[in-house]
Amino acid sequence: MSALAPDRARIGPNAILQHLPVLDAAIGEALRGALLHRAGVAEPPPHAGMLPEEDVARLHHAVRLFLPDRAPAIQRAAGLATGDYILAHRIPKLAQWLIRALPSAFGARLLAMAITKHAWTFAGSGVFRVLGYGPLRVEIRNNPLAIGPSDHPICDWHAAVFERLFGALVWPDVQVVEEDCTAMGAPACIFRIAPR
């Protein structure tokens, strides 16, 4: 990894780190190393800080390019693991208790507000915003991880992170559907987050 100017967009390390054990289980450590090499991404240390969004984007794209049949399941598993990490290390227990204690409509708003505040950690140079609450719909405009072209939505990692967070704190039966995707030529990746 080359040194980058400090003003370059960055994404949290779990966007790569949580892929590694999933890839090891799916294709083995040697092939996972080859995939990282092919993507031009150095394996970050376990306690890496924020990573250049270009590295994260190249890995996500390489998974979809070189493992097209397995990519949705791999990226979903990595997204769920990222959500688990966030719940264990980033959202204070008191805040989790409060979100769970609120009626689901209010809990969803509070969690969406917290996600919006920290969106730079998963959207990089993209712009995250809440589009509405009935149902909850969010967008990542100019999503740097949605490299196309594609004929279907490809943001399985983002969808799974949202699924884990909202499933654990608001709606146990949550369903996250990516309605539109930058990789399909749309201006934004749009996710619908609601109970089934």
Domain ranges of the chain: 10-195
Pick the CATH number of 10-195 from 3.90.1520.10, 3.30.70.1350, 3.20.10.10, 3.30.565.10: 3.90.1520.10
For residue 196, give the amino acid letter: R
Q: From CA 174, how far away is CA 13, in angstroms rounded?
A: 26
Mean pLDDT, residues 18-34:
98
This prediction has a pTM of: 0.94
Computed over every residue of the chain, the mean pLDDT equals 95
How far, in Å, CA of 17 to CA of 49, rounded? 11
- Please list, residue by residue across 145-162, b when 16 or more beta carbons sit within 10 angstroms of its beta carbon and e when fewer do: bbbeeeeebbbbbbbbbb
Average pLDDT, integer, range 114-138: 96
